[in-house]
């Protein structure tokens, strides 16, 4: 499986396997401003991605560029504090590296988080949204660059994508934590600029509830590799045109910061229910 990526990242995978204190079970990709979760669990090993030959350097504020091997309630975790974005100028086959490494290191589940703009008028900054599906319209062409990295049998895994059982665990965790978890469809927007109000109206008409610049390719690739996938978005702002407020990255990280505690409670409960 994944012949091209296996070749490209062979040394990186071997190095990480050597450094790994245990085989991780659950991978978490921590999105914009949500990276602090890493400081709330027991860390066994932290690796700066700058130390890893061939690992694309993170260029965004709020994305630390660290990989942690951690434990919570006896579960072995692999945390990606910071991700690789297409809008930073990286290719899709580089952006899916956290998903690829999760698979290679032995994870069977991946929980992907992100910051997103709310399209659904019932969503407000600070809400959390469970992804029911993803709209890949904006990166269909780029996703085809993964041809040659995926096996044919992998495509069957998309029948349960995102994983229904995993989503049910997340719903149960939210209920136990008394968190009003929204649900909806995530639209991938390439960036680097935020959308126009006209684009947001179109996305809404195509049944999308939130928009962000990550996750979809990571989620798809992990599912192709056979991992159970789930994703939660932190709604950090009203999408363009939903409110008249100006959008910028500091608003995104500010809201994510406010939501930190709620997010941490939800993720910890999810892990303990797995």
Cα-Cα-Cα-Cα dihedral of 230, 65, 90, 210, to 10°?
A: 40
Please, which residue, 35 or 117, has the CB nearer to ligand HPA? 117
68 is catalytic: no
Min dist. Cβ of residue 18 to ligand HPA (A)? 35
Helix residue ranges per DSSP H, the chain: 3-8, 10-19, 92-95, 97-105, 140-143, 164-176, 197-205, 216-224, 249-273
Specify the stretch interacting with ligand HPA by CB under 6 A; choose among 1-9, 13-21, 37-45, 111-119.
Answer: 111-119
164 is catalytic: no
Interaction of residue 195 with ligand HPA, rule CB under 6 A: yes
Rounded Cα–Cα distance for residues 81 and 79 (Å): 6
Min dist. Cβ of residue 176 to ligand HPA (A)? 27
Interaction of residue 115 with ligand HPA, rule CB under 6 A: yes
Among 52, 116, 131, 173, binds ligand HPA (CB under 6 A): 116
Among 208, 212, 219, 271, binds ligand HPA (CB under 6 A): 212
235 with 183: CB under 8 angstroms? no
Rounded Cα–Cα distance for residues 189 and 109 (Å): 25
The terminus-to-terminus CA distance of the chain in angstroms comes to: 27
Among 20, 252, 259, 271, binds ligand HPA (CB under 6 A): 252
218 with 193: CB under 8 angstroms? no
32 is catalytic: yes
Rounded Cα–Cα distance for residues 21 and 6 (Å): 22
Interaction of residue 256 with ligand HPA, rule CB under 6 A: no
Interaction of residue 237 with ligand HPA, rule CB under 6 A: yes
Q: Distance of CA 49 to CAs 45, 81, 229, Å? A: 13, 10, 23
Min dist. Cβ of residue 58 to ligand HPA (A)? 16
Owner of token pair 């702002």: 237
Among 70, 95, 130, 211, binds ligand HPA (CB under 6 A): 211
Please, which residue, 70 or 203, has the CB nearer to ligand HPA? 203
Please, which residue, 85 or 104, has the CB nearer to ligand HPA? 85
115 is catalytic: yes
User: Dihedrals φ, ψ of 130, to 5°?
Assistant: -80, 130
Residue 206: CB atoms within 10 Å: 11
User: Dihedrals φ, ψ of 67, to 5°?
Assistant: -120, 125
Interaction of residue 253 with ligand HPA, rule CB under 6 A: no
- Both tokens of 163, joined, read 């994983």
Marked catalytic residue, from 70, 85, 120, 199:
85
Min dist. Cβ of residue 32 to ligand HPA (A)? 7
Min dist. Cβ of residue 164 to ligand HPA (A)? 26
Residues contributing to the site for ligand HPA (CB under 6 A): 115-117, 189, 194-195, 211-213, 236-237, 239, 247, 252
Catalytically annotated residues? 32, 63, 85, 87-88, 115, 213-214, 237, 249
């Amino acid at each position: 499986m994944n012949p091209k990526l296996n070749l490209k990242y062979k040394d990186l995978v071997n190095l990480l396997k050597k450094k790994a204190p245990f085989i991780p079970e659950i991978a978490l990709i921590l999105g914009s401003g949500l990276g602090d979760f890493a400081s709330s669990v027991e860390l066994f090993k932290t690796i700066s991605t700058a130390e890893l030959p061939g690992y694309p350097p993170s260029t965004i504020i709020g994305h630390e560029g660290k990989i942690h091997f951690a434990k919570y309630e006896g579960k072995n975790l692999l945390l990606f504090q910071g991700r690789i974005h297409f809008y930073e100028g990286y290719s899709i086959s580089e952006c899916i590296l956290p998903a690829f490494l999760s698979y290679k290191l032995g994870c069977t589940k991946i929980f992907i988080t992100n910051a997103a703009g709310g399209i659904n008028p019932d969503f407000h900054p600070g809400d959390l949204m469970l992804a029911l599906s993803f709209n890949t319209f904006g990166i269909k062409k780029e996703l085809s660059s993964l041809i040659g990295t995926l096996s044919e049998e992998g495509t069957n895994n998309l029948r349960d994508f995102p994983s229904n059982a995993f989503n049910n665990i997340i719903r149960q965790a939210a209920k136990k934590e008394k968190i009003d978890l929204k649900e909806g469809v995530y639209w991938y927007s390439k960036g680097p600029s935020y959308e126009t109000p006209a684009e947001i109206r179109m996305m809404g008409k195509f049944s999308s509830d939130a928009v962000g610049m990550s996750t979809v390719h990571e989620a798809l690739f992990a599912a192709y590799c056979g991992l159970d996938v789930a994703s939660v978005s932190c709604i950090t702002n009203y999408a363009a045109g939903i409110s008249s407020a100006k959008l910028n990255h500091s608003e995104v990280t500010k809201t994510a910061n406010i939501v930190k505690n709620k997010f941490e409670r939800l993720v910890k409960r999810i892990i303990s229910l797995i």
